[in-house]
Structure 1
Amino acid sequence: MVIVGISGALAAVYHLGPVALVQGGPVFEAIFFQSYLAILLGTALPVTALVASRAEALAEAARREEMLRMILDHSPDAILSFDDGGSCRWADGATDELLGLSAGSCRGALIDELALKIGPVLAKLCRAALADPAETQIADFAPTNLEGRTLEATVKAVMSDEKVVGTVATVRDVTAQRAREREIARLAMTDPLTKIPNRAGFDAAIERVPIKGEAACIALIDIDNFKGINDRFGHKAGDRALVELAAAIVRLSGSDHLVARLGGDEFLILLAGDITAAQRFFGGLQSEIAILSASLEFDITISGGIAELHALAEIDSVFEEADRRLYRSKRDGRNRVTATA
């Protein structure tokens, strides 16, 4: 703008340019010059502002691109974009760490080619996203080329003019998170003292056990006069008795049975076999308890109730029947098992 003003002033002084065409004396020329200069400046200002605005916009775009590049370079996730034909058009982020593939090797590759290296889950999610653009597809998978990893893939369809033109996939490492979740779930279903399942763990496990006509029984067992043990010898002694009893039950039951601590001194067992087999198990457990008592500073005995479980029976009703029979064992003098109604 300074150049524009100087140029106009020189033209007026030396009677060059449009000023030279003006007739009317110095005063009129001065007025004309001022008007002419105002027009020049008025024209130049928007152009200058437009150029400056464009330059600023380009600089801002460059800054944003650099910022995006820095974010992706330091992102713990891998991000991939596929067209509707399954060709990878863009890949960035932690592809090396998560997929074992460089971003450059991903670009241009078909998703089925990538599936041969990392497994089929990502390809399935992309196809599902193309088929149902409104839904975000999420699934865990273990890449076949990297052992010990659990990854979570999130895939969303990309729309343009209300048409599906491709998908964007984000992959992140959830190995530690899933391990923590499994541990939390395990702790929620495990008795912290005896390390065997609690009632919630038993209920979850029994749902996976098929009862197809095979003989099976529910047994409830508890320690006789357990409160007296705690009162006389202390809670540490009572805790030791519970731990030793749980270990004996697990040792005798083997892999065919389910064992849980319901709370207090009461244990729940799903026994494979009929009532007679369950009574034999209880007899063996009583022998184990007799040996265990010799290693403790006090004697312990157990009482039990056994009820048969069959395919049509409700687990809760069988449990209640076993509980009634346990109560009868207590009523009839303890240190025994009741297996009949």
Structure 2
Amino acid sequence: MRGRMDIPHMYIFDLNNIALTVVFSIISSILAVEFSRQIKRISEKKKSKIALYSVVLAFTFWLTHLFVIISAGVPFSTSNYYLYFLIFFGICAIGSFAALSLAQREIANTSQYIFTSILIAASILIADFTAFYIIFKNAITIQPIFAALSVFMVLVTSFLLLRFLMQITNEDIYEFVKKYKYIGSVLGGIALAGIPYIILTSMMTVVEGEGPHSALAPFIFMAAANLLFMLVPDLFGEKLIMKNVQSHLSLFSHNPDSVFRVDLQGYILSVNKEAVEMTGYMANELAGLHFIDLIGGNEEEQKIRKYFRKVLRGETKLIETTLKRADSTYAEVRITAVRIIVKNTTVGVFGIVRDITEQKKADKMIEYLAYHDELTNLPNRRNLEKVMAELFIKDEAFSLIYLDFDRFKRINDTFGHSFGDKILMQIGKKLAEVVPEECLVARIGGDEFAILVAEGNKPDQIANKVVRAFQSPLFAEGMEFLITASIGISKYPEDTDNLELLLKYADMAMYKAKENGANHFQFFDQSMVDQNLNKFELENDLRNAINSDALTVFYQPKYNATTNEITGAEALARWKHPRHGMIPPGVFIPIAEEANLIVPLERLIIRQVFSQLVTWKEQGFDVPRTSINISIIHFYQEDFVKFMQLALKEYDLYGELIEIEVTESIMIKKEDSINAQLQSLREIGIEVSIDDFGTGYSSLSYLSKLSVDRLKIDQSFISHSQENREIISTIVSMATNLKLKVIAEGVETESQIDLLKSLGCQEVQGYFYSPPLPSNEYETMMNRKLQET
């Protein structure tokens, strides 16, 4: 290399070095595109790769400019060269790092796009002007016009380059535009290759005799390269616009739901064919209507206006309302509304409307079937318990009248069940006539009825009316029958604040009335409680039994109805009292709940089950999953999940061996807290089953939110499976759609098995296969299975 120049002059380009400059610029462009795409896909932990990519790009940019310097034919000093290398390489590395970092961000609007483009252009201009000034310091003579033109052209290139990068690194459209990646990278590289030459031209004077046209050559080259580079995004941009438009129109036109596009004031702009079919209006009739014109009722109108304002603020929620058709009929609809946003500005709303009229009818039918007796159409026991629970929550006093009709069993046995059903229908009608409207009449089962007497009514007066009413005979098929009523009355909260006991106490009072000659009523009093099974005595004995580990566990197997193989078992607490023998769970479980003994009782059962599972596993049994009933009270203990985790660890068991059964009432209070506990249990392998499913209609709205694995169809549906076929089918279908398992309990006959299998319920539990068994008998069953395999 030669020493310093004495006379500034225009350089003469070396075509071979120019070619190498273009090649390395194209390589830099391809690497920049690939690095930008990779950065968008890498995780936060690998962001350090940006630094490595920045160094690689800085090196390729430096090589590009090395050939520019050589091709210029202008001498430079060695000392300046080393300074140039350090500064230029550093600036390129910093600029590459900034550019690659920006590649991660979504450019949301025009101002961000302009700012980023200017930032890229400024980085290029600062790097090149600084570098060339250092390396060619003694040969620099700034040409203002060329310098301004250079700045302009670098800005243009930056805008085009950023537009190309935004499109080619967009993963949503990459598969559509990837075939343009290398064409765009090559043309972008050529455009970038021209930048150092036009900047160098703007910093040198023209050699005498060469003429000004030699200085324009780099600018012409740059203009041509930018023009070609500009066409690449336009080529696939137009196709992309068409694709997006077609996709939008397809989503709009072929949506199975009705779609309405409305402006910011709520006026309908366009609809799809489903909207025409649902409303009965022509498309041109709907266009221009305000959406409120399709809503029925002032109350609904206010609700929808409020919903529309929330949608415009960015909230996206479902809402149900009524839609008025052209023929003045109404449809129940569910609306999902979303904003139409163009360039960060809301320009309208899409309303996706689904006709749920039939679904609503089905829901009402299911609710009616679940809460009413199919024979008398009176509310059933489930309905009665629901209303009692509502009054309990409101803390309102009420009375419960329990009725049993004397000599009905004799009529039923003599004339048959079909005739008996006709008598029951007449009984239901007469009760509905006698009892005030504000009181609830329910059929409990068989010939047993109940009346819930709301506060403000006197139960003894209503009971007297009922007694007198049934002193007149009933008529059926030309025959006359006199059926008298025995009536028991209990009061809440005077007699008890436990709803199950309240019903039991009314039943006790009814039997007392029957014992005293029937055909009259009797109020409950504590003397009616069987002294041999005195609740307080049992409470103390139960506490001692829990403390001394005196309760035992029976196991009722669960079966696959198709293969007849055991799929698991339900662990059931059993208490053999030293004097009274086996105490039914229906007696001691409510006592445990009322006496705050249910948590220690259940934890005792859990430990006994875990201990038994360990024993069976040590004996080589392939023990299926065992379910344990857990009360809602247990979920109010802060350490419940921790207790289960520690117990599993203590007995060296996996959660996959355990299932807990909870009732639907678990979601009445503290829904989020309890659901979090359920999810924690599932995370350690424990499955969650909803026991007695269907006994509370409110559960249908909670089910999608609840963290569970299995639904257990209540035995009250199975005992009358043919009559409840629609309900069972709905529960199975619902479970299937929510990807939940389903099991039926209380299965006792082969016809019930056949029906359940036909409806898709394969897993069953009940006396058809086996009653609850002591652990040794259940072990024998498993041993038989082990020998068969």
TM-score in terms of structure 2 length: 0.31
Of the structure 1 ranges 275-284 and 291-300, higher mean CA displacement relative to structure 2 is found in 291-300
Most deviating of 145-154 and 177-186: 145-154
Aligned to 1:280: 464
- Which of these residues, 193, 213, 232, is aligned with residue 375 of structure 2? 193
C-alpha deviation, 1:258, in angstroms:
1.3
Q: Which residue of 2 aligns with 1:115?
A: 292
Structure 1 residues 1-341: aligned runs within 5 Å = 68=250, 72=253, 77-84=257-264, 86=266, 88-99=268-279, 101-107=281-287, 113-119=290-296, 120=301, 121-133=303-315, 135-143=316-324, 146-159=328-341, 164-205=346-387, 217-271=399-453, 273-288=457-472, 290-292=473-475, 296=479, 299-309=482-492, 314=497, 316=499, 318-339=502-523, 341=525
Give 1:189 shift: 1.1
Per-residue deviation, 1:98: 3.5
Which letter does structure 1 place at the counterpart of 2:429?
A
Q: Does the 8 Å contact 1:213/1:311 carry over to 2?
A: no
Partner of 1:28: none
Q: Which amino acid aligns with 2:319?
A: I
Q: CA deviation at 1:158?
A: 3.8
Q: 1:265 to 1:214 in 2, by over 3 A?
A: same
Give the drift of 1:261. Answer: 0.6
Q: Secondary structure at the match of 2:331?
A: coil
CA deviation after TM superposition for structure 1 residue 305, in Å: 0.6
Cα separation, partners in 2 of 1:159 and 1:137, compared to 1, 3 Å:
farther
Cα offset, 1:263, TM superposition: 1.1
| Shift, 1:220, TM fit | 0.7
Could you tell me how far 1:323 is from its partner in structure 2? 1.9
- Paired residues of 2:404 and 2:447 also in contact (CA < 8 A): yes
Q: 2: CA distance between counterparts of 1:212 and 1:184?
A: 26
**1:275/1:339 contact within 8 Å kept:** no
CA distance in 2, matches of 1:161, 1:132: 15
CA contact (8 A) 1:275 1:308 kept: no
Distance 1:219 1:169, change over 3 A: same
**TM-aligned CA distance change 1:243 to 1:108, over 3 Å:** closer
**Aligned-partner SS, 2:518:** coil
Judge conservation of contact 1:306–1:325 (CA < 8 Å) in 2: yes
Equivalent pair of 1:130/1:157 in contact (CA under 8 Å): yes
Q: Distance in 1 between matches of 2:244 and 2:524?
A: 84
Count of equivalent residues: 281
Contact 2:334 2:353 in 1 (8 A): yes
State the percentage of identical aligned residues. Answer: 27
Residue type of the partner of 1:198? N
d(CA) in 1 for partners of 2:336 and 2:376?
Answer: 40
Instruction: Give the drift of 1:268.
Output: 0.9
What secondary structure does 2:272 align onto? strand
Contact kept? 1:137, 1:156, Cα under 8 Å = no
Cα RMSD after superposing both structures: 4.3
Q: Is the 8 A contact 2:453 2:459 kept in 1?
A: no
* Worse-superposed segment, 211-220 or 183-192: 211-220
Residue type of the alignment partner of 1:192: E
Aligned counterparts of 2:468 and 2:243: Cα–Cα separation in 1: 80
Measured at CA, do residues 291 and 97 of structure 1 come closer, stay the same or move farther in structure 2, by a change above 3 Å? Answer: same
Is 2:280–2:325's contact at 8 Å kept on the other side of the alignment?
no
- 1:267 is displaced (CA, Å) by 0.3
CA distance in 2, matches of 1:279, 1:263: 19
Deviation at 1:165, TM superposition (A): 4.9
Q: Aligned with 1:255: secondary structure?
A: coil
Q: Higher RCO, 1 or 2 (CA under 8 Å, sep at least 6)?
A: 1
Deviation of 1:227 (Å): 3.6
The residue type paired with residue 329 of structure 2 is: E
Check whether the contact 1:278–1:306 (CA below 8 A) recurs between aligned residues.
no
How far the C-alpha of 1:310 sits from its partner, in A, is 7.0
**CA displacement at 1:338 relative to structure 2:** 0.8
Gaps of 5+ in 2: 1-231, 526-789
Contact 1:307 1:339 in 2 (8 A): yes
Cα distance between partner residues in 2 of 1:151 and 1:311:
47
- 8 Å contact from structure 2 (residues 341, 347) kept in 1: yes
Q: Name the residue aligned to 1:8.
A: none
Deviates more, 1:195-204 or 1:226-235: 226-235
* AA matched with 2:503: F
Report the Cα distance in structure 2 between the residues aligned to 1:270 and 1:308, rounded to whole angstroms.
Answer: 10
CA offsets 1:192-228 (integer angstroms, 9 cap, x no match): 1112111123344567789999985321101224444
Q: Distance in 2 between matches of 1:294 and 1:78?
A: 55
Give yes or no for contact 2:463–2:487 (8 Å, CA) kept in 1.
no
